[in-house]
Structure 1
Amino acid sequence: MRTRHGLWATAAALALLALSGCGDATDEGQSSSRPEATPSEPSDNVQDCADVLRHNVQQPDAGAVYRPYETLAQMVAGGRTVDSVVVGTITTRAGRGFDETGEAPTEGAPSSRVVDFDDPAADWRDLEATVQAEQTLLGDAVGSVVVDWTLMGNSDTGEDAQEVGRCLEELGRVLILSWATPTGPEWHGGARVLPDPPRSVATVDPSGRLDFVFAPDAAAFVQDLDTVAKLRRALR
């Protein structure tokens, strides 16, 4: 059975073309029906939300996943895995559901079909997470970046999905590393993806310090690139 665990592992291993150009973005993007977190003042519940999201974010067994990098510097180098790095705040809305067909995938046909987000038959779902970009460290300067945030299992409907969405928004200012929309049929189109979810999202405090709250090996992964300013210099 093909799941997003396998798809993300593949994404992390693929070599990508580097996108050139860095700059700041100030254009306004989509608004949310829920209040947006104030960028300089992350929610008081950020740790509780980090715990909720840590259970939700995909962390496949490290021994079964090939990663062509060990550190943040290696992950962003040369556009091999990441082609966009932005700082901003997140708004979310329901995306799509996906139902495994039970058939082996072929070159032209995926092993799943798209269903409604709240369809009980869905094996996984995605939230559409829009990052209102205030800074672009890598890639084209844009007003917003949309990524798919995957929810696994039938329980992630209704209040559970709403909680994940709320917690993403309450993270406040975040750094998002993403990869251009894959073209393979198994992805069914969609938005940009997080190539390695636990290591693709960091909270940003008012001083610009980064905290990769989902990464189990955060200190070893980040090393000395622990602020937005240091990461920006490294990406020049």
Structure 2
Amino acid sequence: MTDDIHARTTANRLRLADLLDSLPECAWDSPTLCAGWSVRLMAAHLIQPMLIGFGRFFLASLRHRGDTAATIDALTRRIAQRERSELVAELRTHAGDRVDPPRVGPMGPFADSCIHLRDIARPLGLDADVPTGDWLTLLEHLTSPRPVPALLPPGRLDGLSLLAVDASWSSRSRIGGRRGEISGPAEALAMAVTGRRAALEDLSGPGVPTLEGRIPGA
């Protein structure tokens, strides 16, 4: 399973490199679904885990008093000063790198490779996407008993069930019944569950208002 996740992460990073390479220069200053981050910053963030080892990250975090989000943002902005072509080339070069962050494992980078592609493509109105099977794998993880906390805050899915209308998948067997059901494309389900409010408009069902109220920025 781990080898498969790494292989799919590699494929998605190459998709991301293709997407970034296809964008006009002006699009690199466009906002993504990650608040405060442009496409350029997202490109830098995608290669940050492969360029900055745990030791360097730890030292950087000390300067930010252990604030992981602030550390990531600072490192990302430093890497983003590189030329656009270099950022894309680095992403291609390191696409196959195996990154297993502590307490996150390979699912973290895999989730990033799915979600961040759409973080870029959705605001630009582009169809670029990962395979539906990747979204289903991510949804299986998000609805598992112990999802990565950085991906899914505790309690966000309490009382809710998910139904993918573009695949034979639902979380009812684990979360229960039709109470609080939310239906929509697998991509939109995963994006909304991980905090992307823009994806809520692609969902329907009695559980949507509950989910919306649990996403910051409501």
Q: TM-score, normalised by structure 2?
A: 0.27
Greater length-normalized contact order (CA 8 Å, ≥ 6 residues apart): 1
Q: Which of the two has greater strand per residue?
A: 1
Q: TM-score, normalised by structure 1?
A: 0.25
Q: Which of the two has greater helix per residue?
A: 2
